[in-house]
């Protein structure tokens, strides 16, 4: 017998440079029942990033129009840019029985906590601030001033860890990915993620 399990939103948050995007990609590679929510943003593409794949890149005017139209499940401003998640996309994928995974800042995650969308929130933490700074420097996408600003923001974001359901330390990438996959599996098997398993079991007409 196959029991109906209700899908949910998987939220990954981390300081900039914490590795949440890398972990997200690895999780998607490991599961065909999880889809990625492509966020909207007003920031410029980096490197080989493509609109509709990495982000939906829009102007600030377009973004604010979507806010007015109540198009976002959540949105936040980070480093002078806006980021937001389409509520219609999330609902459509959950109705199709798919989990949806997304990487967002703590501001956006807090907004989702106030909605009716089922979710699990996971905070990805690098082993130390020193390692975080090193990762930001090696990324070679920010100036020294921007890196200092990101580290200042990171200190605040880390204070929000108690608002999350799970904490994963991203020291070893493979282990961090395995930890996230284990969390997803455990959440799938929560009793309240099922419909009415007791009724399905007792109504088995084969016996």
CB environment 54-84: b (16+ within 10 A), e (fewer):
bbbbbeeeebeebeeeebbbbbbebeeebbb
Rounded average pLDDT over 137-158: 86
pLDDT in tens, 91-132: 999 999 999 999 888 988 888 888 889 999 999 999 888 888
Q: What is the CATH number of domain 9-195?
A: 3.40.50.300
Q: What is the mean pLDDT of the chain?
A: 89
Kindly indicate the confidence band of residue 176, based on its pLDDT and cuts at 50, 70 and 90. very high
pLDDT in tens, 63-92: 999 999 988 998 888 778 998 898 888 999
CB environment 118-144: b (16+ within 10 A), e (fewer):
ebbbbbbbbeeeeebbebbeeeeebee
Task: Classify 130 as helix, strand or coil.
Answer: helix
Confidence check: pLDDT of 184 > 70: yes
pLDDT in tens, 36-70: 998 899 999 988 888 888 889 999 999 999 999 98
Kindly indicate the confidence band of residue 201, based on its pLDDT and cuts at 50, 70 and 90. confident
Backbone angles phi, psi at 56, to 5 degrees: -95, 105
Instruction: Give me the residue spans of the domains in the chain.
Output: 9-195
Rounded to two decimals, the pTM is 0.83
Task: Check: CB of residue 136 under 8 Å from CB of residue 17.
Answer: yes
Confidence check: pLDDT of 182 > 80: yes
Whole-angstrom distance, CA of residue 56 vs CA of residue 38: 7
Residue 207's pLDDT is 59
Kindly indicate the confidence band of residue 206, based on its pLDDT and cuts at 50, 70 and 90. low
Rounded average pLDDT over 24-41: 93
Residue 53's pLDDT is 84
Confidence check: pLDDT of 134 > 90: no
Rounded average pLDDT over 173-191: 95
């Amino acid at each position: 017998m196959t029991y109906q399990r209700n899908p949910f939103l998987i939220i990954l948050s981390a300081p900039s440079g914490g590795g949440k995007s890398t972990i997200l990609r690895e999780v998607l590679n490991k599961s065909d029942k999880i889809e990625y929510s492509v966020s909207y943003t007003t920031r410029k593409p980096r490197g080989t990033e493509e609109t509709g794949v990495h982000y939906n890149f829009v102007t600030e005017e377009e973004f604010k129009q979507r806010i007015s139209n109540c198009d976002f499940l959540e949105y936040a401003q980070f480093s002078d840019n806006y980021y937001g998640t389409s509520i219609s996309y999330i609902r459509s994928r959950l109705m199709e029985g798919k989990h949806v995974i997304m990487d967002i800042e703590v501001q956006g995650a807090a907004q989702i906590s106030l909605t009716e969308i089922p979710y699990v929130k996971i905070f990805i933490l690098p082993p130390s601030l020193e390692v975080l700074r090193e990762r930001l420097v090696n990324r070679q996408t920010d100036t020294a001033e921007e890196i200092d600003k990101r580290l200042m923001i990171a200190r605040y974001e880390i204070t929000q860890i108690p608002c999350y359901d799970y904490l994963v330390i991203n020291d070893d990438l493979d282990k961090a990915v395995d930890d996230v996959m284990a969390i997803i599996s455990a959440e799938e098997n929560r009793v309240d993620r099922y419909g009415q398993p007791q009724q399905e079991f007792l109504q088995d007409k084969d016996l």
